[in-house]
Each structure stands twice: as structure tokens, then as C-alpha cells.
A = this chain, B = another copy of it.
Amino acid sequence: MKLVTAVIKPHKWEEVREALETFGVTGMTVTEVSGYGRQKGHTEVYRGAEYDIALVPKIRIEIVVDEADTDDVVGIIVKTAQTGRIGDGKVWVAPVESAVRVRTGERDEAAL
């Protein structure tokens, strides 16, 4: 199994979710994160004092997937989350040795 981690633009989240659902991904875990990268944050002004906000809000998605689906899942995310503008984010894949469904204790593929 693999763990696919994707960091995308927040307003793309809904689309990505739908695309993955259609593909058959039944579950994922989502986190509100802040991104730092080429896409620069913006400048806010409070009583004439300017602040550079370096971080940009992003959505981080974690999906544990069956080996076989990995490339498709990555592909779907990249396709759907793409706007072509800087800050679209990253997707990375890491190995997972085992997974368990807490409710049933089912393991690995069965746990997804």
C-alpha cells in the first residue's frame, strides 16, 4: 500500500474530492495547512504597518491506497487540482507497510 499526500489550493478541494469519489476512493483525511514556496504570501496593512504574510493557506489530503491505484490517484489529483498558476501544490507518494480499520480490525487492503 502507499500513502498519497497532496497539498493543493483550498478552493480546489471540492473538485478533487468529487473526482476521487468517482474514481472510487472511499476515504481520505484532510488537514488545513499553510504552505511556503514560490507562491508568495500577501501584504496586510494595519495602522500603516505593513506585514508580509509568508504563508499561504493550503489543503493537505492523505490517502492510503492500494498499490495498484497509486498512479491513477496521483494522476487524478494532479489533473483536477491544476490551475497552471504558481502555488498549485505538490503530491508525493510514500510506502505504507500496513493499515487497520479501527471499527473492525480488518487489515491492509480490506481496511480501506
Quick check: A33 and B33 within 8 Å, CB to CB? no
CA distance A54 to B77 in the complex (A): 18
Number of A interface residues at 8 Å Cβ cutoff, please give it.
Answer: 54
Quick check: B91 and A103 within 8 Å, CB to CB? no
> Which residues of A are at the interface with B, using a C-beta cutoff of 8 A?
1-3, 5-8, 17, 26-31, 33-38, 54-55, 58, 60, 62, 64, 74, 77-78, 81-103, 105, 111
CA distance A67 to B7 in the complex (A): 21
Quick check: A92 and B102 within 8 Å, CB to CB? no
CA distance A81 to B15 in the complex (A): 31
**Nearest 10 CB-CB pairs, A to B?**
A27-B37, A88-B102, A88-B103, A92-B99, A30-B34, A89-B102, A91-B100, A31-B33, A93-B97, A93-B98
